[in-house]
Amino acid sequence: MYNFPVMNIQDLTREMDRFVTAKGWYQPDSPRPQTPKNLAISLCIEAAEVLELFQWSEKTTDLSELADELADVTLYLLQLARVADIDLERAVMKKLEENYLRTWDERLDAEKDKNGEED
């Protein structure tokens, strides 16, 4: 389907870094300073554009547009992690480990306990 090699997070981050360097966005006088704040803002804007594709509908009508917006979100996420010096792969794996141990219905469990209900 695609003529691109399979890449891991580090490979994708290097490609994003190469792109940002080529555009000159690391330069002090850049119109797009690569600060954590600017990247976090851009990440949220792009995530909102994903959400907009589902506005008034349960599914999007244009998967190509959804793919483009998800790619934008991913690129800003990778760049934010890079600029903040976060190992995103390690952070994701750590979060997954924590989530395996997490109780997802804590509020419901507390309500049941309060009302004397059993499962």
User: Which tens digit of pLDDT belongs to each residue from 44-71?
Assistant: 999 999 999 999 999 988 999 999 999 9
Residue pair 67/2 in contact (Cβ under 8 Å)? The answer is: no
Q: State whether residue 59 is helix, strand or coil.
A: coil
CB atoms closer than 10 angstroms to residue 73: 19
In a domain, 70, yes or no: yes
Looking up residue 21, the CATH number of its domain turns out to be 1.10.287.1080
User: Which tens digit of pLDDT belongs to each residue from 74-113?
Assistant: 999 999 999 999 999 999 999 999 999 988 887 766 776 6
Q: Count structural domains, the chain.
A: 1
In a domain, 82, yes or no: yes
Domain span at 58: 9-87
Sign for the pseudo-dihedral over CA of 9, 97, 42, 86: negative
